[in-house]
């Protein structure tokens, strides 16, 4: 499954454009991170909500994929994000988890933290949404 997920990830042009990488893959739990750089910022130099969403959604989606049959693929049906603090660090780290696996719908959530240069982390966003196998 890990190879399948890494192959899928490598085909996502946006993840490469965002310099995102997979940090870990475990059953029902995937961590994806990316640097906060001028190319992915909003108007104040913080990480753009689009980056935060993209990482959180991808981590949630791949966490769902770890619960599906080998060879499956996954699409986001819907996702809700609450942005709770400015992403003013140097790196965004998204942890996706499966709340409830299922054959037709997989319910997921993700936390996105910003990491500062000194290694401290702060929660910047929480996501909750539905993945569908295809």
Q: Does 107 interact with a copy of itself (rule: CB under 8 A)? A: yes
Residues of span 76-105 touching a copy of itself by CB under 8 A: 76-85, 99-100, 102, 104-105
Residues of span 9-38 touching a copy of itself by CB under 8 A: 9, 11-18, 37-38
Q: Does 1 interact with a copy of itself (rule: CB under 8 A)? A: no
Candidate list 25, 31, 51, 93; residue touching a copy of itself; CB under 8 A: 51
Residue placing its CB nearer to a copy of itself in the complex, 12 or 24: 12
CB 57 within 8 Å of CB 129: yes
Residues that bind a copy of itself (CB under 8 A): 8-9, 11-18, 37-44, 48-51, 53-55, 57-58, 73, 75-85, 99-100, 102, 104-105, 107, 109, 123, 126, 128-130, 132
């Amino acid at each position: 499954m890990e190879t399948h997920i890494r192959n899928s990830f490598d085909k996502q042009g946006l993840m490469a454009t965002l310099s995102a990488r997979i940090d870990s893959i475990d059953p029902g739990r995937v961590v994806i991170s990316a640097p906060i750089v001028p190319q992915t910022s909003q108007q104040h130099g913080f990480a753009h909500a689009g980056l935060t969403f993209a990482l959180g959604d991808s981590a949630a989606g791949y966490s769902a994929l770890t619960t599906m049959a080998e060879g499956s693929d996954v699409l986001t049906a819907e996702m809700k994000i609450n942005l709770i603090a400015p992403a003013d660090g140097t790196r965004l780290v998204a942890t996706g988890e499966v709340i409830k696996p299922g054959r037709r719908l997989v319910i997921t959530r993700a936390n996105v933290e910003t990491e500062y240069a000194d290694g401290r982390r702060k929660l910047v966003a929480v996501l909750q949404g539905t993945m569908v196998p295809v």
